[in-house]
Structure 1
Amino acid sequence: MKFVGRESELSFLEEQYNRDSSMVIIYGRRRIGKTTLIKEFIKNKKAIYFLATEESINENRKNLQNTIFQITKNNFYSENNEINWENLFNFVNGEKWILVIDEYQYLTMTDKSFTSKIQKIWDEFLKNKNVMLVLSGSLTNMMYSETLDSSSPLYGRRTGQIKLQELSFDDYKQFFDNKKISEIIDFYSVTGGVPKYVESFDLRKSLLQNIKDNIINVNSYLYEEPIFLLSKEVKEIGSFFSIIKSISFGNHKLSKISADIGIKQSSLIYYINVLQDLDIIERQVPITEKNPQKSKRGLYFIKDKFINFWFNFVYPYRNFIEMNNKTFVLEKIENNLIDNHVSFVYEDICRKKVLDLSANNFFNKNIIKVGRFWNNNFELDILGVDIKQNPVLFGECKYQKNKVGKEVLNKLKFKAEKISSKEKVYVIFSKSGFRKDLLDLSEKENNIFLFDNKIL
């Protein structure tokens, strides 16, 4: 599969490469594309790429020594010599080299003092050489504690770090050559911007066929992917799993999650924070909140699109899947996927598009934040606020088969009137376009913006 996106990350890595010496930490959840990014970056550069394993520290040392020998052809590194970690990097002799240790966390798991060894090697040798050291790993919490935390021996030594995130929808589109935007949105709602998941799909086939072949297939790794991801990151999976399940069932307030799973709120915070650090869930507040961290209106949602899909459409029907009754499960997915899943992902895409347009002053307003809004009476899919925190842009997103008419704008205006604002811009996104009555009105009023899928 072709390499897409990651322009800012590659640019940052090039900047680090052009320094006399640098140490970069790359971390993030599994399947997110860390290794692919690294291999793209080191193309046509002198580099040692080493993939650590869960073997003993001595086996890893021998494997790295053999890797260095294969690339440098230096007989000092032949298997006849046993070289300790401190002397493994002696081949660095003034030429520019990149040294990559991927899945770094395995080395620290098998040798608790390994990060101290790397600190000594860096301080006494590598930092004075023309070298770029890249440490990459998948266990997010362990990578942070071993390389970025103030208690780590490497603290203060890194020159940069990348927490790799999912691909944006704009980048994600590049995987597809012959599909409509609506079809790509449907795929994106299931795989998210996780390259490995896209790679698992046959993009020539329909989404439903891919779900049948690759997700509700007991032999596919995606069938139990959320369980695997959690088991790799946390020791006690049960409470974390229960929290995600509770949120997927519609419990978004901390108090409701607590009551549902029987864990006190004071104890729940720990699990919530870990899941947020892992980018599995997120806390949202109305965009107008002046102090989001202290807001009492915070709600929790599943951030990871695939995990959200899995808990809504795979987990509840595992008994049917295990009995190979895929037809029943596929019918449930086909009948509910758009309204219960894709439409919310569509809203996220639209909000990001409004933010991008605002950055280019498309609406001629000084909009600096775009998000959701809700209170006890109504919700807004999109609300944009200016630098003074004044609401100025009000939006609605419709992912439906029918064209959108003037009644949707009227409802949007009614909601907007409930929010104090001197200026109002109205934005409506529609998967299926717009009726003539709304198109005619938008021609007369210059504060109405209508967007179909072409802009996405």
Structure 2
Amino acid sequence: MEFYNREKELSLMSLLDKSKPSFLVITGKRRVGKTELIKQFSRDRKALYLFVDSNKSIDILMDEFNRMLSEELDLPDYINVKEPENFLKFITSYDRDIVIAIDEFQRFLKIYPSFITQLQRYWDMKSDNCKVFLIVSGSSIGMIRKIFIEAQAPLFKRADNILTLRPFMVHETFSMLDEIGITDMQEKLDLYFLFGGTIYYYRLFEKYQCTGFLDALEKLVFSEFAPLKDEVRDILIEEFGKEHSTYYEIISAISQGKCSKSAISEMTHVSSNSLSPYFYDLADLLGIVEYRIPVTDSPKKSKRGRYFLKDNFFRFYGRFIYPALSQYMGGKYDPIMEKVLQQWQSYTGKLFEDMIRELMSSRLISEYPEIGSWWNRKGDEIDILAINREKSEVMAIEIKNKELTRDEARRILNSTSEKIELIPDASVMNFNVGIVARKIEDRKLLEDEGFLVWELEDLL
């Protein structure tokens, strides 16, 4: 697979490269393509890629950096940068064009925290003749924020820019699938529900010559040498060590629909009062969990928040593989695969909702500044509630992952109209009611009745 998209990011990097010395931070969750972006940018430039391995001591790491720097720049033997300060002094005074990328930079917090404060000092004192474009990247989003973004961060305002790479959006993912030969809409949907917009998984899809969704399941997940067999476990072990099993439990609980602290606590061995640090790690460090509140609630006051997995593959793993992990690790794939196929339609209902919410939000945000879901304590829910308080307008939209008859759609629309009356202040606003489904019979008749109607193909 050729490098896909990221034109805006490459343009920014080129701009900074032309005005060296420059300092760029790239962050984003694992597998989102940070390293590939750096490699693509560095392809036709003199560049040095350095990886911070948390299992190495600072002495071993600096010895490795020194060797790579000496080889790449053909340095004479008397130049030695094995000490962190010598290394930083050298790269902040080097007067020839070079890109130096340090990947998983946040791990210095564990290995040698002084490296970060030393970088601050040397970057502030860098030579006017310095021709280095320094790129640091990291997948622990919360740690990068502590180093670069928060007011007391040691490298606050030192970077020229902070670039957050996000997974591909739905349209981008589908365009990429078109380019690798997957044109059937259902195949695209199923692959997106499995892998989301994480480019790494589609690279594996192409590398292993997968022909579609079922083939991807068999080759990439449910076989002895499947490259994603240990994906989730390895990530959790690398980040959290011996405690990884607790994170496993929490991910599995959320993926099975347990969204509140109390419900998650009941399904794990962690008390409700002790869950917050785990949620912080999963949300801010790994970037796979998000906390949502009803769109009408105040973030500081709401007590109706819910936790959701926003990484599709972690969600899949937590739902189907972790509960049967012994069976899975023992190579008994067929029963798990059968369960996946039996439950796929019901399982993907929430994923379909999330996808449609993303697509609709991008359409509506210019007219409705507040967009999200809404629910109350009694169990009433609206999939998308869009609010424009300035114009006193509300739009309520329900999402259904199936084809609907006219009567089914009308019942849903009428039910949604009734739910609006339950929303505070909605009664004094003008409101529209809509529905999104795969297909809707006689949609024109419903539109003539004043309802808003979208079918899947309208959005894709």
Which category describes the TM-score, using the shorter chain as reference length? 0.7 to 0.9
**Alignment RMSD, CA only?**
2.9
Deviation at 1:35?
0.6
Indicate how the Cα distance of structure 1 residues 359 and 322 shifts in structure 2: closer, same or farther if over 3 A, else same: closer
- Find the aligned partners of 1:12 and 1:404 in 2 and give their Cα distance: 49
In the other structure, the counterpart of 1:82 is 80
Are positions 1:121 and 2:126 aligned together? no
Superposed counterparts of 1:162-201, under 5 Å: 162-177=163-178, 178-201=182-205
Question: 1:28 is matched with which residue?
Answer: 28
1:363 equivalent in structure 2: none
Q: Distance in 2 between matches of 1:81 and 1:347?
A: 59
- 1:6-45 superposed matches below 5 A: 6-45=6-45
Report the secondary structure of 1:222's partner residue.
coil
CA contact (8 A) 1:25 1:135 kept: yes
Of residues 427, 441, 445 in structure 1, which corresponds to 2:446? 441
Q: Larger deviation: 117-126 or 27-36?
A: 117-126
Paired position in structure 1 for 2:358: 352
> Structure 1 residues 352, 317: closer, same or farther in 2, change over 3 A?
same
Q: 1:416 to 1:90 in 2, by over 3 A?
A: closer
Q: CA deviation at 1:333?
A: 0.6
Counterparts of 1:215-254 in structure 2 under 5 Å? 215-235=221-241, 236-254=243-261
The separation in 1 between residues aligned to 2:151 and 2:384, in whole angstroms, is: 39
Structure 2 distance, partners of 1:198, 1:455, is 22
**8 A Cα contact 2:248 2:322, kept in partner:** no
- 1:130 CA displacement: 4.2
- Deviation at residue 311 of structure 1 after TM alignment: 0.8
Aligned CA distance change for structure 1 residues 257 and 52 (closer, same or farther; 3 Å): closer
Residues 27-426 of structure 1 correspond to what in structure 2 (within 5 A)?
Answer: 27-53=27-53, 54-72=55-73, 74=74, 77-78=75-76, 81-83=79-81, 84-89=86-91, 92-93=94-95, 96-107=97-108, 109-125=110-126, 129-150=130-151, 152-177=153-178, 178-202=182-206, 204-235=210-241, 236-277=243-284, 278-289=286-297, 291-340=298-347, 342-359=348-365, 366-375=367-376, 376-388=378-390, 392-400=394-402, 402-419=403-420, 420-421=426-427, 422-426=429-433
For 1:155 and 1:418, the matched residues in 2 are separated by: 46
Return the alpha-carbon distance in structure 1 between the equivalents of residues 356 and 416 of structure 2: 19
Distance 1:19 1:89 in 2: 16
Preserved CA contact (<8 Å) 1:351 1:370:
no
Paired with 2:393 and 2:230, the residues of 1 have a C-alpha distance of 43
Shift of 1:330: 1.5
Change beyond 3 A, Cα 1:284–1:19: same
Segment of structure 1 superposing worse, 328-337 or 138-147: 138-147
Whole-Å separation in 1 of the counterparts to 2:283 and 2:371: 21
Unaligned ranges ≥5, structure 2: 421-425
Provide TM-score, normalisation by structure 2: 0.85
Letter in 2 for 1:212: E
Q: Give 1:334 shift.
A: 0.7
The normalised TM-score by structure 1 is 0.86
Q: Distance in 2 between matches of 1:148 and 1:127?
A: 25
**Helix, strand or coil for the counterpart of 1:317?**
helix
Q: Structure 2 counterpart of 1:295, which letter?
A: S
Q: Which moved more, 1:8-17 or 1:170-179?
A: 8-17
The amino acid across from 1:428 in the alignment is I
* 2:423 corresponding residue in structure 1: none
Higher mean C-alpha deviation, range 280-289 or range 383-392? 383-392
Is the Cα–Cα contact under 8 Å of residues 365 and 371 in structure 2 kept in the other structure? no
Aligned residues: 441
Name the aligned partner's letter for residue 164 of structure 1.
L
Q: Larger deviation: 304-313 or 12-21?
A: 12-21
Q: 1:418 to 1:30 in 2, by over 3 A?
A: closer
Change (3 A) 1:157 1:138: same
1:363-387 deviations in whole A, cap 9, x for unaligned?
A: xxx3123221222243222221114
Distance of 1:285 and 1:371 partners within structure 2: 9
Structure 1 gaps of 5+ residues are: 361-365
Q: Which amino acid aligns with 1:314?
A: I
Native 8 Å contact 1:192 1:305 kept in 2: yes
Aligned-pair CA distance for 1:354: 1.5
Distance 1:389 1:267 in 2: 43
Inter-partner Cα distance in structure 2 for 1:356 and 1:194? 19
Following superposition, the deviation at residue 138 of structure 1 comes to 3.0
> Is the Cα–Cα contact under 8 Å of residues 369 and 386 in structure 1 kept in the other structure?
yes
| Greater mean alpha carbon deviation, residues 53-62 or residues 304-313 | 53-62
CA contact (8 A) 1:24 1:135 kept: yes
Tell me the percent identity: 27
Q: Aligned equivalents of 1:263 and 1:317: distance in 2?
A: 20
Does the aligned pair in 2 maintain the 1:26–1:34 contact within 8 Å? Answer: yes
CA distance in 2, matches of 1:140, 1:392: 34
| CA shift in 2, pair 1:152/1:196, >3 Å | same
**Structure-1 residue corresponding to 2:455:** 451
DSSP-derived class of the 1:338 partner: helix
